[in-house]
Amino acid sequence: MKALVIGGDGYCGWATALHLSNQGYEVGILDNLSRRYWDTKLGVDTLTPIAPIQKRLQRWQELTGKTIDLFIGDITDYDFLSKSLRQFEPTTIVHFGEQRSAPYSMIDREHAVFTQVNNVVGTLNILYAMKEDFPDCHLVKLGTMGEYGTPNIDIEEGYIEIEHNGRKDTLPYPKQPGSFYHLSKVHDSHNIHFACKIWGLRATDLNQGIVYGVKTEETAMDELLINRLDYDGVFGTALNRFCIQAAIGHPLTVYGKGGQTRGLLDIRDTVRCMKLAIDNPAEPGQFRVFNQFTELFSVGDLALKVKKAAAKMDLEVKIDNLPNPRVELEEHYFNAKNTKLLDLGLKPHLLDESLLDSLLNFATKYQNRVDKQQILPTVSWHRQQKEEVTSPTNNGTGKNGSIPVSSPEPVAAN
């Protein structure tokens, strides 16, 4: 019952660490606080005010009497990682510690290389540390539904049975990632699969959909425990962006035709999924894959839902379709399976029940913190991005409002 949450100062990691602590686990957080650093470098900020990690943990202890250990450092530093693991001695490693933004990975070559090195090396270090000192530890790794892409067949949970030339086999589901970030997650999956096979490690990969919501039972206890609400063009999600735009009277910005369909889930379900995976661990040598989402929506669907919910708050909302900065299908088939976590007992929260309470209410409460310069797309997947960005030494914005290029530090994200 000892869970080390790597990346525990980030959005999913923070909520998970508090939830596990509240459920009686002995919890540690390992983080190098780089998520905060990237906001500073990009000149953006989460809508909600986030206290320093030490103050957050102190407040948690004051409210609950529970202590969460803190290890500040970088998982790409193997000596630090190994020393921290030996000190904490986890039975479960919950791994959120990666650069998790697709747009961030697409800014330029530098950010693409950083994302892949940071994410893949960090995960490899964890696997080797487990092999050397904690071979019975269970790795619960945050993957992404974005590994699959948008195939014209049903998406299974990690594996697919294939018949070819009269023979059958069950193989990892084909991957069609849509960014250099998503590619890094595919590499992670392959490395974890291989490590489980050759070293007998146990791991669960949670291919998560888009997470929404600010409030969990634990983060709602005190404002010092509040979670992030990112809406900017690099780390924000479409749903978050729509809610902020509704709160300040800005048209909802739908990229392209709006038919892009994805899996979504409430942050309260994220923490519950993590606990279900931990409480029902994989077997030695097993690499399990669970698709972690509860509902499927298109971007256009999300805009209409926000418009309808905003009307209940007397907010008038318009919808605009912008040129799509991403290279992706805007109308496509998408049918993904998600039965494994439901079979373990997940009881989902639905978006219609969460929009007002866990998104729009926060968007209106903190609307004075909105930076209107950050709510439009700032990174393009298209080739002309090379001409739009500025040099690494320029602190201004590039043409068309593109993000100035800055050298990412060699640190592990959360």
Of 11, 181, 212, 231, catalytic: 181
Contact 34, 409 (CB under 8 A): yes
Q: Is the dihedral of CA 131, 135, 141, 147 positive or negative?
A: positive
Alpha carbons within 13 angstroms on the beta-carbon side of residue 80 total 14
What whole-number distance in Å separates Cα of residue 378 and Cα of residue 403?
6
What whole-number distance in Å separates Cα of residue 332 and Cα of residue 155?
13
Q: Is the dihedral of CA 131, 192, 96, 94 positive or negative?
A: negative
What whole-number distance in Å separates Cα of residue 42 and Cα of residue 37?
9
pTM of the prediction? 0.93
Q: List the chain pLDDT tens, one digit each, 414 residues.
A: 999 999 999 999 999 999 999 999 999 999 999 999 999 999 999 999 999 999 999 999 999 999 999 999 999 999 999 999 999 999 999 999 999 999 999 999 999 999 999 999 999 999 999 999 999 999 999 999 999 999 999 999 999 999 999 999 999 999 999 999 999 999 999 999 999 999 999 999 999 999 999 999 999 999 999 999 999 999 999 999 999 999 999 999 999 999 999 999 999 999 999 999 999 999 999 999 999 999 999 999 999 999 999 999 999 999 999 999 999 999 999 999 999 999 999 999 999 999 999 999 999 999 999 999 999 999 999 986 444 433 333 333 333 333 333 444 433 333
- Give helix then strand counts, H and E, for the chain: 14, 14
Annotated active-site residue 25? The verdict is: no
Of 46, 115, 141, 185, catalytic: 185
Q: Domains in the chain, start-ordered, CATH in brackets?
A: 2-401 (3.40.50.720)
Annotated active-site residue 185? The verdict is: yes
Phi, psi (rounded to 5 degrees) for 6: -80, 125
End-to-end CA gap in the chain: 22
Annotated active-site residue 340? The verdict is: no
Contact 13, 102 (CB under 8 A): no
What whole-number distance in Å separates Cα of residue 311 and Cα of residue 76?
47
Of 46, 76, 144, 294, catalytic: 144
What whole-number distance in Å separates Cα of residue 368 and Cα of residue 330?
33
